[in-house]
Amino acid sequence: MSGEMPKCGICGEGIYEPAEQPAGQHESCRANFGLHALPASRRPARPCDRCGHHQLVRCLVRERGAAGNNYVASYVAPLQVTFARKVVTKEAFFSGKKSTEVTNQPAVQGQAVGVLEAYVCRQCGFTEWYTVEPEQLPIGEAYGTELIDVGPTTPYR
């Protein structure tokens, strides 16, 4: 049957152009829920550190926020460790495209950097945090971050 329209995995409504919605969910629904694809996990494939259980739930950690003045709208967005400064380039602005670059220019808008993911033990609930793409984190007081180099030898080695 070719007439069967796929349904969005979030809202359950039909997806008219499945080729443009590769996750099987409306892109607008994914945006509403702050969902996005995560890169490959960097957590070593090992059991829970506390109880040794072998089943963990990998979670994209999100928070609910609100924006607007007269018409306040709530949204769900990924939790992240810091914000870089997002600057819309002149070319992008005039072309109407959304492309942005992260620079050290004065802040226009906060760009989320360092999205958090959590691994929750399915048995004891112990939760481990990881930050996606840690090498991308900007360092400095303006970002609320500080680089700490503990040197080549530590007592934990």
Cβ atoms 109, 31 nearer than 8 A: no
Q: Which two tokens stand for residue 45?
A: 């494939």
Amino acid making up residue 125: G
CA dist 115 and 97 (Å) reads 24
**Site stretch for Zn ion (CB under 5 A), options 1-9, 37-45, 58-66, 142-150:** 1-9
Q: According to CB under 5 A, which one of 126, 127, 131, 137 is a site residue for Zn ion?
A: 126
115 interacts with Zn ion by CB under 5 A: no
Residue 56 binds Zn ion (CB under 5 A): no
Q: How far is the CB of 49 from Zn ion (least distance, A)?
A: 8
Q: Which is nearer to Zn ion, 65 or 125 (CB)?
A: 125
Q: Identify which of residues 54 and 97 has a Cβ nearer to Zn ion in the complex.
A: 54
Which one-letter DSSP state was computed for residue 140?
B
Tokens found for residue 148: 């700490």
Interface with Zn ion, residue 124, by CB under 5 A: yes
Side-chain-side CA neighbours of 63 within 13 Å: the count stands at: 8
- Please tell me the count of residues contacting Zn ion according to CB under 5 A: 13
Find where tokens 């829920």 sit: 33
Give the binding site for Zn ion (CB under 5 A): 8, 10-11, 26, 29, 48, 50-51, 53, 121, 123-124, 126
